Amino acid sequence: MADREGTVKAAVYSSVSVVIAACITGFFLLGNTLLEQGIVVVGPGLQIGNPQSESVTPTRSPETISFEVIASLPWQNTNIQLQSGDFLQIEYKSGQWCGDVNLGGYSGPDNLDIVEEEPDLACLPLPGTRSEGRPALIGRIGNDEPFNIGRQFVGTISGDGFLFLRINDCDDYLFDNDGSLVVDIQAGK
């Protein structure tokens, strides 16, 4: 009898081990497939890999994705690769930021005032603009010229490359920025 119980227990343990190994293998394969497709998200706007590198696998989906744009960081890669002729819609959803915590005045994404260029603001990614510590949301495709997004951008893309977003503030002044914005992005043919 004891011999039979030992045989049954060994068979059960063996079966359980096979099921566990199959689950681990399945999760590994699924994770690699999702990572190759660029859809493994580890946090708001953060994807596994180096999000600042253009060597990551792009997302080419007509679905809407959410992305968090952090005020204290320079150009942030959304990991969405666009081609000339693609439709692009970026819409502000939530959050506030400030371009200078010493000045205060948190705001949303649409504080872009066109002014005459001033020498101390020549460093702005979108030159000829100013917003008194409450910079606007801007974007660029690849290394093309930046464009204003504000609360919403809808248009057809004329260049090729990854979509980058950021606050319209000088790189040297990002250290005193605070906050973030969440936007929904939809892109496709």
State pLDDT tens for residues 49-104.
334 444 444 445 567 899 999 999 999 999 999 999 999 999 999 999 988 887 77
Q: Where are the domains of the chain?
A: 1-36, 52-188
Spatial contact of 69 and 177, defined as CB atoms under 8 Å apart: no
Residue 31 reports pLDDT greater than 60: no
Determine the average pLDDT of the residues in 135-163: 93
Q: What is the pLDDT of residue 35?
A: 40
* CA–centroid distance for 116 within its chain: 32
Instruction: Identify the residue with better confidence: 51 or 108.
Output: 108
Beginning with the edge strand found earlier in the chain, give each strand of the sheet holding 152-156 in spatial order: 64-70, 178-188, 87-98, 152-156
CATH classification code of 52-188: 2.60.120.430
Residue pair 132/120 in contact by the 8 Å Cβ criterion: no
Residues in Cβ contact with 75 at an 8 Å cutoff, skipping those fewer than 6 apart: 52, 125, 140, 164, 165, 166
Could you tell me the pTM of the whole model? 0.64
